[in-house]
Structure 1
Amino acid sequence: MLKIGCHLSVAKGFHAMGKDALKIKANTFQFFTRNPRGSKAKEIDPKDAEDLLKLVSENKFATLLAHAPYTLNACSADERTREFATQVMADDLVRMEYLPHNLYNFHPGSHVGQGVEKGIEQITSLLNALLKPEQTTTVLLEAMAGKGTEVGSSFEQLKQILDGVILSDKVGVCLDTCHIYDGGYDILNDLDGVLDHFDQVIGLDRLYAIHLNDSMNPRGSHKDRHAKIGEGSLGLEAITRIINHPKLRDLPFFLETPNDLTGYAQEIALLRSIYKEL
């Protein structure tokens, strides 16, 4: 069965997100842990979290994905910004234990002129300071498009970060189809080659989730502009190959396309129609 969901608003609470997911025929979803462009987080109601866990279990949902705010930059040149990143991720990882055994995704960050190597060192240092053996959450590095001074736009950079993390079983990767295409990986014409390269550099066992997006821009543009499924430079045929690929088809897919709930419902129905059940 296709594991497919979209980005839902946590403002109404955990259980409400689960009900919204059911309305649009999703069997997983992604949510921001807090204001995506700020720092404020909604106080967690333990009963609300329990209600979501019950809904998830009863409806056989796939793994859920939480997303850190965009303001989290673990490799900023500004020390206060790095301290903010540490505080936010530390708090988020505590909060994630209300929804145990799920995923937490973050953008590695922008080195802002310090250089990639320094950025990687700072990201690794943050993860080593925060990850704990007892946590149930797996933290995912999101592959980026490479705009500006972003770190994590190549599989090799992601591998360097992963290699530096002491608790290696607590970290993995989330691939974003728009990001890696804009970053130069030809998933339109050579999906097999890209996945083989990922496997050689990082290992497909470290891939936990896919952000499924079309791209407004051509390969290698480094723009990071998401498009609706089938309406961008990747197109529906490429998306069909991605969700049906034997190395990807069992992973959870999360839509981050420019849509409202109705639009997401339409995309999910489309994707289910082109997914080939084995």
Structure 2
Amino acid sequence: MIFGSHVSIRDGYLGAAKRAAALNADAFQYFPKNPRSLSVKSFTREDAELCQDFCIQNGLVSVAHAPYPTALTPSGDHKREQVTASLLNDLAIAEACGSLGVVVHFGKDIFKEDQLASYRLMIDVLNEVLSQWDGKGRILLENMAGKPGAMGTTLEELVKLRELCDYPEKIGFCFDTCHAFTSGLWNGDNWTQVEYQGVENGYFEHLAVIHFNNSRYGTGSGKDRHANIFDNGHIKEGQFAELVASTQLINVPFILETPKEIIPHQEEIRQLQQKWGKK
């Protein structure tokens, strides 16, 4: 099992990798730049390449996460230009760091009375970005935490959207356990059904990373509030254990985005490794 957490880049990309190693992690996630900005970052390639070398030497897996304002259904031409330039910048940084790719949240329904228009816009934006991208790193679409029926809350949607893009080979998936739980996709007791659906539609073939988070709210609530894995969340240990034991998730990194103020990530990674690290 591969466990890790989100880490800061305040000491650069190499610093982020070293921070993950100090946590005794096997993987880490990072924001390639300011998480609240779509500005294009001029980064130090040497630092990124040193990060990649360090990860190779220490057996670390890394993945980038696009800044929060990144929207695959942008409103207006100016925002679309910003998102496109920002994502290409994120992909370039992730590639230089040797990362799996860039996690991007599935698009939202901005055309309230025409959801199909939102899907079409999302496909157009992905095509525009990926037509200009020739690296190995992929865009990793993340399932959403909305109420049941909201965009991006089913595996079938993610798979179909990937298939409809012109560059499906440049797209993979990120599965967020909190989002799946609060959207009702995974209610904690139906993993067998989720796994069957994922196998049937080919989802797991393109799954690159798991955001391993508990939820402060119940299944179907639609709320995105993370809790620590073993600390009073609504997803119980036995329910997590069934997911972790899935043969479909072997060698997929589990990345914590849990509140480190409550349980430090180093301690939570230790707990995970002690509980499920040896298979």
TM-score of the aligned structures, taking structure 2 as reference length: 0.91
Q: What is the letter of the counterpart of residue 93 of structure 2? A: R
Q: Which amino acid aligns with 1:277?
A: K
Deviation at 1:150, TM superposition (A): 5.6
- 1:81 is aligned, of 76, 79, 82, to 79
Paired residue for 1:68, among 66, 69, 75? 66
Identity %: 28
CA distance in 1, matches of 2:65, 2:277: 29
Aligned counterpart in structure 2 of residue 98 of structure 1, from 78, 96, 114: 96
2:233 corresponds to 1:235:
no
Q: Which runs of 5+ in 2 are unaligned?
A: none
Letter in structure 2 aligned against 1:7: H
Distance in 1 (alpha carbons) for counterparts of 2:153 and 2:22:
35
CA contact (8 A) 2:33 2:67 kept: yes
Instruction: Report the more deviating stretch, 233-242 or 11-20.
Output: 233-242
Aligned equivalents of 1:134, 1:142: Cα separation in 2:
21
What TM-score do you get using the length of structure 1 for normalisation? Answer: 0.91
Give the match for residue 155 of structure 1.
155
CA distance in 2, matches of 1:267, 1:74: 32
Runs (4+) of structure 1 moved beyond 6 Å? Answer: none
Shift of 1:24: 0.8
The aligned runs of 1:186-205 (5 Å cut-off) are 186-205=186-205
Partner of 2:29: 30
Cα drift, residue 251 of structure 1: 0.6
Partner of 2:119: helix, strand, or coil? helix
Tell me how large the CA RMSD over aligned residues is: 2.2
For the Cα contact (< 8 Å) 1:110–1:149, is it kept in 2?
no
Count of residue pairs brought into register by the alignment: 276
* Structure 1 residue aligned with 2:137: 137
Please identify, of 117-126 and 239-248, the stretch whose mean Cα deviation from structure 2 is larger. 239-248
Code of the aligned partner of 1:39: L
TM-aligned CA distance change 1:53 to 1:77, over 3 Å: closer
- Show the 5 A alignment for 1:212-231: 212-231=212-231
Contact 1:33 1:41 survives alignment (8 Å): no
Counterparts of 1:8-23 in structure 2 under 5 Å? 8-23=7-22
SS for the counterpart of 1:11 is coil
Matched, 1:176 2:176: yes
Match of 2:166, as an amino acid? I
| Greater alpha carbon shift after TM alignment, 12-21 vs 53-62 | 53-62
**Partner of residue 247, structure 2:** 246
Note closer, same or farther for the CA distance 1:255–1:101 as it changes in structure 2 (3 Å cut).
closer
